Amino acid sequence: MQFTAEMIAALLNGTVVGDKNATVSTVSSIDGGKAGSLAYLTNPKYEQYVYTTEASIVLVDNTFEPKEEVKTTLIKVENVGACVLNLLEMYNATRPRKTGISKLASIHEGAEVGEGCFIGDFTVVEGTAKIGANVQIYPQCYIGDNVTIGEGTKLYPGVKIYEGCVVGKNCIIHAGAVIGADGFGFAPKEDGTFAKIPQLGNVIIEDNVELGANTCVDRAKTDSTIIRSGVKLDNLIQVGHNVQIGSNTVMSAQVGIAGTTKIGSNCFVGGQVGFADHITVGDRVQVGSKSGIDKNVPDGEIRFGFPALPGIQYHRSFAVFRTLPEMAHKMRELEKRLVKVEEK
């Protein structure tokens, strides 16, 4: 579907500078723009590409004043970032939506499937599962006994949801994610082997949650592992048994959360962060990449490093860490001079 600069400007309450009839049918980055695409300038360091891009239209802020000749059509708007988000959402909404149930899917006669659902090839839906309206389940997914999936949720290929787990409304779970596998629980025996501890709980995922590809959320030993509404988890994240993650918390890839840890709401967690078991992390906490959290963290704190330190303390310590080789060299020189003094 094509849109003219005039149409986009009217939609975004913007002003066209250039050809109002310029048309676009897709969105691109400003440094990779091609004819027929809409690009955008949100970071001043990319301004150079405004003058060289092949994109047909570029969104810029109202305050933007070109320093060179601009060959493309500009649309000046109040907030480029917000406008781009609106356009991407609209573009996504116009994409065709899959519907219908494949003849190659295996759906137990005891399962409930709401109206407007899509269920792809080789998906298995066990008995007593309940699938809400307009759910999209791509090929090769597995929905276990007594699983509940809220309306509007989307499961990409290969998602596995074990028995008894609950997924809320309008969630997105990407390919290969596993919900409800056994928590990592083993008890040591006298002979040195381990006895498996039964994991009898489930996983509860509330509304508007997004889980990345190959992310795993383990079922609880008892009660529930809970991911609250609005949580966004990146790819390859491990959530242990009985963990609770508060609403609107965001985590980057390869985070690992050990069992029974509680993480608050509106937290931001960088990639490859590790959380020890049985700790509590408050609301609005920020954790830098590759940090190790082994103790409770109060509300609103910032943590870096391993073991993690408060932000200011970490940066002061790092200032010392990076000078350690020079300090060691000076120490050796001082030791040599001290030996000579003592000999005299």
Domain range for 69: 3-94
User: Do 251 and 230 share a structural domain?
Assistant: yes
Residue 295's pLDDT band (boundaries 50, 70, 90)? very high
Of 94, 117, 135, the one marking the end of a domain is 94
Number of H helices, E strands in the chain: 4, 40
Residues 70 and 112 in one domain: no
Report whether pLDDT(139) > 80.
yes
15-17 β-sheet, strand order: 15-17, 73-77, 57-61, 37-40, 26-27
Based on the fold, state whether residues 118 and 234 are members of the same structural domain.
Answer: yes
Assign residue 43 the CATH number of its domain: 3.40.1390.10
Q: Please, what is the average pLDDT of the chain?
A: 92
Same-domain pairing of 252 and 210: yes
pLDDT at position 307 is 66
Domain boundary among the residues 94, 117, 134 is at 94
- 20 and 47 assigned to the same domain: yes
Predicted model pTM: 0.82
Residue (of 90, 94, 121, 96) closest to 106 by Cα position: 121
User: Do both 289 and 344 map to the same domain?
Assistant: no
Asked if residue 85 and residue 117 are part of one domain, the reply reads no
> CATH number, domain at 234?
2.160.10.10
Same domain, residue pair 86 and 169: no
Task: Mark whether 75 and 212 lie in a shared domain.
Answer: no
Same domain for 156 and 53: no
- Those residues with Cβ within 8 angstroms of residue 89's Cβ, 6 or more apart along the chain or in another chain: none
Q: Using one digit for the tens of pLDDT, what is the confidence trace for 186-223?
A: 999 999 999 999 999 999 999 999 999 999 999 999 99
Where is pLDDT greater, at 224 or 344? 224
pLDDT more than 90, % of the chain: 76
Looking at the structure of the chain, the number of domains it has is 3
Domain end position, chosen among 33, 64, 94: 94
What is the torsional sign of CA 156, 159, 164, 167?
negative
Contact 157, 213 (CB under 8 A): no
Q: Where are the alpha helices (DSSP H) in 27-157?
A: 80-94
Q: What is the pLDDT of residue 84?
A: 87
Active-site residues, by number, are 241
What does the block give as tokens for 176?
């290969």
**Are 82 and 220 found together in one domain?**
no
Residues 328 and 193 in one domain: no
pLDDT bin (cut points 50, 70, 90) of residue 155 is very high
